[in-house]
Amino acid sequence: MDETALGLEARPASASAATGRRDGRVHGTPAPEYGEYAPEGWVNPVLVEQERQAAEDRRRDEAQRQDAVTRRAPDPTRPGPDERAGRRTHGPGSPRGTQPAPTSASTSPYGASRLDFVLTVGLLFVGLWSVFGALSTGTVASVTREYVAGQFGEMSSPAALSSAAVVRVVILAVVFALVAWWSVRRLRARRWTFWVPLVGGVVASALGAVPMLVVVFQDPAVQEAIRRVSGG
């Protein structure tokens, strides 16, 4: 039957089919025309491009993450802070296993500086010498009695000075022990310490004089001499 007689006209072939162009073709399959179903095996090039772009984005993101992890991770080939410090302290000819010598004359393994260490130790020796000197209680009592006699006259009971001298020794020894203990702690912590024996010496002198003064000013002869001098 004639198609023109039924009012149907033959649809011309697509421009791509007529000219033999394959612009939308993928894998040798022509792209469908408007209104046609996609032939078997045809792949939309837009979707292919989108998938390729998404794959590139994923690869780029993964490369960036790997780079960030690499930057955060320590490099085993690079020396750490301790090793760099060791390289600075060790000279070219010094063995790495030995302890480096101090780089400055003021550094010290104890105390804030070498000067602080020397001053602290020296003052502690002075304090220890004072304690040993106070052990001669008879000499201390005799010197005190002579001094009081020159100022106020003879004491009524000078023998009490010997007991006061013993108490003074105990006070000086206790204060020195506390000062030495505190000084050693501060020296080991590398803190300024020379002032501790100075303060300890002042405190020890003040406390050590208390028993001697109590005995002297409680003596009746001394009290009478003070009343005469004051006009009472």
Task: Provide the pLDDT for residue 232.
Answer: 55
Task: Provide the pLDDT for residue 198.
Answer: 95
Task: Provide the pLDDT for residue 82.
Answer: 56
Is position 146 within any domain?
yes
Is position 13 within any domain?
no
- Res. 5 pLDDT band, cuts 50 70 90: very low
Is residue 87 over pLDDT 80? Answer: no
Is residue 9 over pLDDT 70? Answer: no
Q: What is the pLDDT of residues 24-35, one digit of tens each?
A: 444 456 666 665
Burial class (CB in 10 A: 0-12, 13-18, 19+), 203: middle
Output 54 or 88, whichever has higher pLDDT.
54
Is position 216 within any domain?
yes
Q: Give the mean pLDDT of 130-152.
A: 90
- Lowest-pLDDT choice from 6-20, 79-93, 178-192: 6-20
- Res. 74 pLDDT band, cuts 50 70 90: low
- Lowest-pLDDT choice from 64-78, 119-133, 216-230: 64-78
Is position 223 within any domain?
yes
Is position 49 within any domain?
no
Is position 109 within any domain?
no
- Res. 104 pLDDT band, cuts 50 70 90: very low
User: How many domains is the chain built from?
Assistant: 1
Is position 42 within any domain?
no
Q: Give the mean pLDDT of 120-125.
A: 94
Is position 193 within any domain?
yes
Using a cut of 0.95, tell me whether the model's pTM lies above it.
no
What would the 3-class secondary structure string for the chain be? CCCCCCCCCCCCCCHHHHHCCCCCCECCECCCCCCCCCCCCCCCHHHHHHHHHHHHHHHHHHHHHHHHHHHHCCCCCCCCHHHHHHHHHCCCCCCCCCCCCCCCCCCCCCCCCHHHHHHHHHHHHHHHHHHHHHCCHHHHHHHHHHHHHHHHCCCCCCCHHHHHHHHHHHHHHHHHHHHHHHHHHHHHCCCCCCHHHHHHHHHHHHHHHHHHHHHHHCCHHHHHHHHHHHCC
Task: Provide the pLDDT for residue 106.
Answer: 53
Q: Do 127 and 176 meet the contact criterion of CB atoms below 8 Å apart? A: yes
Range of the domain at 167: 114-230
Task: Provide the pLDDT for residue 170.
Answer: 95
Distance CA 232, CA 230 (A): 6
Q: Give the mean pLDDT of 131-160.
A: 89
Is residue 107 over pLDDT 90? Answer: no
Q: Do 211 and 171 meet the contact criterion of CB atoms below 8 Å apart? A: yes
